[in-house]
Amino acid sequence: QLQLVESGGGLVQPGGSLRLSCAASKFTLDYYTIGWFRQAPGKEREGVSCISSTGGSTNYADSVKGRFTISRDNAKNAVYLQMNSLKPEDTAVYYCAAATSRSSWMRCRTVDFGSWGQGTQVTVSS
**Residue 70 has what pLDDT?**
98
Can you give the pLDDT at residue 10?
98
Cα 5 → chain centroid: 11
In 18-119, DSSP assigns E strands to 18-25, 33-39, 46-51, 58-60, 68-73, 78-83, 92-99, 115-116
- Note the pLDDT of residue 26: 80
For the chain, what's the residue count? 126
Backbone angles phi, psi at 112, to 5 degrees: -90, -5
User: Pairing relation of β-strands 58-60 and 46-51?
Assistant: antiparallel
Candidates 4, 74, 1; CA nearest to 35 is 4
Question: Positive or negative, the Cα torsion across 58, 24, 15, 87?
Answer: positive
- In this prediction, the residues of the chain whose per-residue pLDDT falls under 50 are none
The pLDDT score that the predictor gives to residue 5 is 96
